[in-house]
Amino acid sequence: MPKEFDLIAQYFTRPAPEKMVGVGDDCAIFSLRAGYDMATSTDLLLEGRHFFSDVDPYLLGRKALAVNLSDLAAAGASARACLLSLALPSVDEAWLAAFSRGFLEMADAYCCPLIGGDTTRSLDHITIGVTVMGEVPSGKALLRSHAHIDDDIWVSDYLGAADLALRYLSGSLPMDAQRLHDSRAALENPAPPVAFAQHLPGVAHAAIDISDGLAQDLGHILKASQCGAEVHWPMLPVHAALHGLPLPLQQEAVLAGGDVFQLCFTAAPAQREKLQALAAEHQIALHRIGRIISGAGLRVLDQAGQPILLAHQGFDHFA
């Protein structure tokens, strides 16, 4: 389908940044700075599973890159370049124009140029695969396995809104137009704190991005670091769109709701002032929610110090 490939070339091909070989050769090529390691990550987005078929393609383009940039943030890496693979059942020019505009705007905003990829016709449905490549000072990448006992646990931004919007859009909660309006951007237009996170190596210990729910993702840190955690419900940053909803619904959205694409990380208490200053500098709302303890597993305590039990821990990719 040569004509269709011309269209895709038209929407996605841009001149390569200086000192990079971009779209148009067999490989894209760029060099890393001396003293840096490459951090790379890839994510698949499937129509009907990770996004609704009628989602705004401009926002989908932004989110396709944002979810990958979020993984770079979790490593404390800065973005260098990305690759995009698209499988489309047909070529819809209006869709492609909006999708590519969103994707490339995000790439510009985060200094993460698109330097290659692949396109093909799918039998059914849209599949989007994005790979990001970033760099982090050698040996300094933030890992899930580096939490220390007595570390503070921090999260960026506010929690629960993406899950609330998903519940309204999927019909699992009766529609509330105002709350959907207030929560929808969190689901459809996430903004991972990449610029802030690249200052965390050497300051924070362990980190992860919240993609499948705080309880589950913090659980990955605890398992990898062989420790436990105590988190306090009154310290959790509940998104304003959730205020006034039944408490169990708020707790489930905040603790088990996915699609957040913000950071959860641990750091020594001695770093509190430095972290708050960094957060202010990057206009990040940063919240201390609990601490790392010896033992295993996550305990979330309510106002009265009683453990909160959740029906679901988070998103299960094979459910």
Where does this chain bind Mg ion (CB under 5 A)? Answer: 71, 209
Nearer of residues 28 and 218 to Mg ion, judged by Cβ: 218
Residue type, 102: G
Nearer of residues 47 and 209 to Mg ion, judged by Cβ: 209
CA distance 190 to 173: 22
Q: How far is the CB of 217 from Mg ion (least distance, A)?
A: 7
Nearer of residues 42 and 189 to Mg ion, judged by Cβ: 42
Task: Please check whether residue 83 is in contact with residue 68, taking contact to mean a CB–CB distance below 8 angstroms.
Answer: no
CA distance 270 to 68: 31
Task: Please check whether residue 289 is in contact with residue 231, taking contact to mean a CB–CB distance below 8 angstroms.
Answer: yes
Nearer of residues 194 and 241 to Mg ion, judged by Cβ: 194
Whether the CA torsion 17, 20, 21, 22 is positive or negative: it is: negative
Nearer of residues 153 and 242 to Mg ion, judged by Cβ: 153
Q: How far is the CB of 71 from Mg ion (least distance, A)?
A: 4
Q: How far is the CB of 210 from Mg ion (least distance, A)?
A: 8
SS3 call for 14:
coil
Residue 44, φ and ψ in degrees, nearest 5: -110, 135
Query: Which ranges in 110-198 belong to alpha helices (H)?
Result: 161-170, 177-188, 194-197
Q: How far is the CB of 283 from Mg ion (least distance, A)?
A: 23
Q: Is 190 exposed, middle or buried (0-12, 13-18, 19+ CB in 10 A)?
A: buried
Q: How far is the CB of 316 from Mg ion (least distance, A)?
A: 15
Q: How far is the CB of 211 from Mg ion (least distance, A)?
A: 5
CA distance 163 to 250: 10
Nearer of residues 71 and 135 to Mg ion, judged by Cβ: 71
SS3 call for 5:
helix
Q: What residue ranges in 54-200 does DSSP mark as E strands? A: 78-88, 114-121, 127-137, 152-156
Q: How far is the CB of 56 from Mg ion (least distance, A)?
A: 24
Nearer of residues 233 and 261 to Mg ion, judged by Cβ: 261
- Residue 78: HSE in the Cβ half-sphere, 13 Å Cα cutoff: 11
